[in-house]
């Protein structure tokens, strides 16, 4: 009788273990904090790129304007 109780307990423990470990099912965890952090970093990087591109464009326009003025001045002399 004692062995039957021990065997029943062993089967129940194994069943609980199998259910707790998910059996053979494969589930992918989603880390919402990492996803939000990635989105925030991407957003900041995009904003920085836009600011750098805007500055570069305005600097290029200033250089082109100065070059055009220099060509005009040289043509007048």
Give 1-42 pLDDT, tens digit per residue.
677 888 888 888 888 877 776 655 566 667 788 888 888 999
**Which backbone phi and psi does 29 adopt, to 5 degrees?**
-80, 145
Whether residue 76 is predicted with pLDDT greater than 80 in this model: the reply is: no
- CA 67, CA 65: separation in Å to the nearest integer? 5
- CA 53, CA 49: separation in Å to the nearest integer? 6
- Whole-model pTM: value is 0.44
The confidence score (pLDDT) of residue 47 equals 93
The confidence score (pLDDT) of residue 1 equals 66
């Amino acid at each position: 009788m004692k062995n039957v109780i021990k065997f029943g307990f062993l089967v129940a423990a194994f069943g609980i273990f199998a259910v707790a470990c998910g059996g053979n099912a494969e589930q992918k965890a989603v880390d919402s904090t990492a996803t939000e952090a990635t989105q925030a970093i991407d957003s900041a990087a995009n904003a920085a790129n836009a600011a750098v591109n805007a500055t570069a464009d305005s600097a290029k326009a200033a250089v082109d304007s100065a070059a055009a003025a220099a060509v005009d001045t040289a043509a007048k002399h």
